[in-house]
Amino acid sequence: MVFPFNSVQDFQILIDEDVELFRKAVREVVENKVLPRWQEIEKTNTIPKEIFEEFAQQGFFGVGFPEEYGGQGGGQLLTAVLTEEVARAVPSLAVAIGVNHLFGIPILLFGTEEQKKKYITPIAQGKAFGAHANTEPCCGSDVAGIQSKARKVNDHYVITGRKIFISGAEKADYFIVSARTSPPTEKRWWGISVFVVERDTPGLKIGQRFNVVGMRGEQPYEVILDEVKVPAENLVGPENEGFKVIVTTYDYTRIGIAAQAVGIAQATFEAAVNYALQREAFGKRLIEFEMIIQKLADMYMKLEAARLLTYWAATLADQGRREFVIASSLAKAFATEAAEWIARQSVQIHGGVGVDEETGVVRYLRDSIITTIYEGTNEIQRLTIVRQLVRQVFGLKI
């Protein structure tokens, strides 16, 4: 046993040549169509629609979604590679892709065949966007604490509540929405249900945009649900068991957050190396100073460790291994903290240039901070890691 796993073979990362060919194809599109527009995105706080159209044409929105529902196929590993390459240029664009998966994964795992055909197909084809409305003013990582309510009335539900920090809400055609269908009991998780709510449903309103520290171009919004009437067939999974739907979704999607972080770390590491090779101080290039050498070495170690953890978690998920849950938390916590640290060191190596908005280095630092928070804060990831470890090895709940 390789505690808490059973064998060293559990740590295999299986990557075939098609994945690398796909990565190169994504890199080419991103460098030609996205990277040249990063300043425009930062200044306007909007991702140009032409970029979305290009991604739809390339089939990028369909990666990770089954072909029978209009997708390109591929699993978590291929999605992670796509996310990493996009985040290397514009992290907020990677968020836009990830939000679609936040919408789609609960339907793929728990939805009906009709729901999959109706909602996944346009998302995977890039003809529509989804969003995931779970976080509330009272609670984010505490999924069991949500207070929005849904009451059953004949053949439909009526939802009332307020959601905050909802990425992609401004352009979403469909929302995954969590709400209480039964009052809380000693089992706090019981009584939550999940629904698909279409944007044009009366009572659904997009509220304020939150001016968060980073992710310009894909900043989150408030979503208000005022007596929103939803057909009963829009219930995703069993009534009152929506907690499982939500947290299982995050088991998968936090791999995507780790991949975002790897892309950020890659970009800032490359920038630091290039600058250290070019910049001179005291008659020497920066890369000749021992302190800079140490920084770059540590940055590179953390970058590659983050990538390996992310690819490993994705591989386990694609194999259908339950152990992927602990691996995804390991990857998310480590990669996002590594990205924040690497971005910070890159800014420091750049000196005054590093904090100049026009050079683009500091934007990655802002974005990296957000990755440590959403999809469950890293404090929650540490809780998940230990709980899963004890459950996996000893069969105990803590």
Q: What is the chain's pLDDT, residue by residue, as a tens digit (398 residues)? A: 588 888 899 999 989 999 999 999 999 999 999 999 999 999 999 999 999 999 999 999 999 999 999 999 999 999 999 999 999 999 999 999 999 999 999 999 999 999 999 999 999 999 999 999 999 999 988 999 999 999 999 999 999 999 999 999 999 999 999 999 999 888 999 999 999 999 999 999 999 999 999 999 999 999 999 999 999 999 999 999 999 999 999 999 999 999 999 999 999 999 999 999 999 999 999 999 999 999 999 999 999 999 999 999 999 999 999 999 999 999 999 999 999 999 999 999 999 999 999 999 999 999 999 999 999 999 999 999 999 999 888 888 88
Indicate the domain borders of the chain.
8-129, 131-241, 244-394
- pLDDT on residue 39: 97
pTM over 0.95: yes
- pLDDT on residue 140: 85
What is the DSSP code (8-state) at residue 181?
S
Residue partners of 6: CB distance under 8 A and separation at least 6:
none
Q: Assign domain 244-394 to its CATH superfamily.
A: Butyryl-CoA Dehydrogenase, subunit A, domain 3 (1.20.140.10)
- pLDDT on residue 1: 59
The Cα-based distances of 316 to 19, 105, 380, 387 in angstroms read 16, 17, 21, 18
* Sequence-ordered strand ranges (E) for 22-92: none
Instruction: Identify the CATH class of 8-129.
Output: mainly alpha
- The domains spanning 8-129 and 131-241 adopt the same CATH topology: no
Phi-psi region of 98 (alpha: psi -120 to 50; beta: other; left: phi over 0): alpha
Q: Which amino acid type is present at position 164?
A: I
pLDDT digits (tens, 9 = 90+) for 105-162: 999 999 999 999 999 999 999 999 999 999 999 998 899 999 999 999 999 999 999 9
* Percentage helix, strand, coil for the chain under 3-state DSSP, each rounded to 5: 60, 15, 25
- Is the omega angle on the peptide bond into residue 4 within 30 degrees of 0, that is, cis? yes
Q: Assign domain 131-241 to its CATH superfamily.
A: Butyryl-CoA Dehydrogenase, subunit A, domain 2 (2.40.110.10)
pLDDT digits (tens, 9 = 90+) for 80-97: 999 999 999 999 999 999
φ, ψ for residue 66 (rounded to 5)? -60, 150
* Sequence-ordered strand ranges (E) for 36-188: 130-133, 149-153, 156-166, 174-180
- pLDDT on residue 392: 85
- The CA R_g of the chain, rounded to the nearest whole Å, is 21
C-alpha span between 59 and 70 (Å, rounded):
10
Within 10 angstroms of residue 232's Cβ, the number of other Cβ atoms is: 13
C-alpha span between 241 and 191 (Å, rounded):
6
Q: Which residues are catalytic?
A: 375
C-alpha span between 306 and 292 (Å, rounded):
21
